[in-house]
């Protein structure tokens, strides 16, 4: 059941006080920006469950704003269907929770490491989708065989070397395999996608899962053909400059 309104209001007040005390929070504008991000994390948490990208409490999501060294992330071990914005934890770039509240995801070190290394990344989604996880279990990268994958990921989805969940070693392995691309497989675990916003990271999660299924099925028919590096670079640049309504100049 949803918590009572007065309990939620107390949680929000506690979060507000803790965030105001943090050096990166400069006023109510920053706080309400974080609250909006928390609301979006709740929304996309429900979407990844609805689309079958995770089951139960597995996976995690995070998001941040431009030039802010704070991000918000799903709490550890909570069902996505009962999450409220105040359940979403605020964390600094060192992976340290800000204020009191829910314990952040055990994969917080991985999210923090990606944000530190990739200033272009504003959202991260970690899922356990079936076909992508099959590739992760086999430790087989997903080659760049489809145009949408070239456009959005920017190359193959490589496999990060295995390390236990929640460790700094896993975070380092993910960074090494991710490079400047937008998706990576975690050996014997799942997949991580990164984007300029939660919407883009979610689209990437869906697209990587679709491509993984195409890859597995195409191997039944024969040998799938990968796009060349030149073709991939063209498609990635075209997507950034020309696709959609918010084109990069």
Q: How many CB atoms lie within 10 A of CB 200?
A: 19
pLDDT at 15: 54
Sheet holding 70-73, edge to edge: 89-92, 70-73, 60-64, 123-127, 190-195, 183-186, 159-160
Q: Quick check: is 168 catalytic? A: no
d(CA 230, CA 235): 9
Distance from chain centroid for Cα 86: 19
Instruction: Name residues whose C-beta falls within 8 Å of residue 208's C-beta, 6 or more positions apart in sequence.
Output: 129, 132, 142, 149, 153, 157, 183, 191, 193
Catalytic residue among 107, 161, 200, 248: 107
> Residue 230: what are its φ and ψ, rounded to 5°?
-65, -45
Higher pLDDT, 12 or 119: 119
d(CA 27, CA 248): 30
Task: Return mean pLDDT, the chain.
Answer: 89
Query: 9-37, pLDDT tens digit by residue?
Result: 555 555 555 554 554 554 444 667 888 99
Cα angle: 124, vertex 248, 199; to 5 degrees: 30
pTM score over 0.85: yes
Token code pair at residue 142: 């997903």
CA distances in angstroms from 171 to 116, 127, 139, 196, listed in the order given: 11, 15, 17, 20
pLDDT at 243: 81
d(CA 29, CA 116): 23
N-term to C-term CA, the chain: 47
Query: 183-232, pLDDT tens digit by residue?
Result: 999 999 999 999 999 999 999 999 999 999 999 999 999 999 999 999 99
Residue 5 has pLDDT above 90, yes or no: no
pLDDT at 100: 78
Task: Please tell me whether residue 62 adopts helix, strand or coil conformation.
Answer: strand
Residue 53 has pLDDT above 70, yes or no: yes
pLDDT at 1: 43
- For residue 248, what pLDDT band results from cuts at 50, 70 and 90? low
Cα angle: 81, vertex 10, 8; to 5 degrees: 20
Query: 142-155, pLDDT tens digit by residue?
Result: 999 999 999 999 99
Query: 122-147, pLDDT tens digit by residue?
Result: 999 999 999 999 999 999 999 999 99
| Cβ atoms of residues 85 and 38 within 8 Å | yes
Domains detected in the chain: 5-242 (3.40.225.10)
Higher pLDDT, 220 or 244: 220
Query: 63-111, pLDDT tens digit by residue?
Result: 998 878 899 999 999 999 999 999 999 999 999 999 878 999 999 999 9
């Amino acid at each position: 059941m949803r918590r009572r309104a007065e309990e939620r209001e107390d949680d929000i007040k506690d979060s507000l006080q803790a965030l105001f005390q943090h050096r990166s929070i400069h006023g109510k504008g920053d706080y309400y920006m974080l609250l909006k991000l928390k609301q979006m994390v709740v929304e996309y948490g429900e979407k990844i469950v609805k689309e079958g990208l995770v089951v139960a409490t597995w996976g995690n999501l995070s998001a941040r704003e431009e030039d802010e060294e704070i991000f918000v992330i799903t709490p550890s071990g909570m069902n996505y269907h009962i999450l409220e914005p105040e359940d979403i934890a605020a964390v600094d770039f060192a992976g340290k929770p800000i204020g009191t509240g829910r314990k952040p995801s055990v994969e917080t070190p991985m999210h923090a490491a990606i944000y530190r290394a990739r200033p272009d990344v504003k959202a991260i989604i970690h899922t356990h989708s079936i076909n992508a996880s099959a590739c992760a279990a086999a430790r087989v990268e997903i080659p760049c065989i489809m145009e949408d994958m070239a456009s959005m990921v920017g190359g193959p989805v490589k496999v990060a070397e295995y390390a236990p969940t929640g460790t700094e070693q896993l975070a380092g392995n993910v960074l090494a395999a991710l490079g400047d691309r937008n998706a990576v497989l975690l050996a014997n675990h799942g997949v991580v996608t990164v984007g300029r916003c939660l919407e883009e990271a979610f689209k990437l999660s869906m697209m990587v899962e679709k491509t993984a299924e195409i890859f597995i099925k195409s191997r039944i028919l024969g040998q799938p053909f990968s796009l060349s590096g030149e073709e991939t670079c063209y498609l990635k640049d075209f997507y950034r400059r020309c696709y959609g309504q918010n084109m990069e100049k």
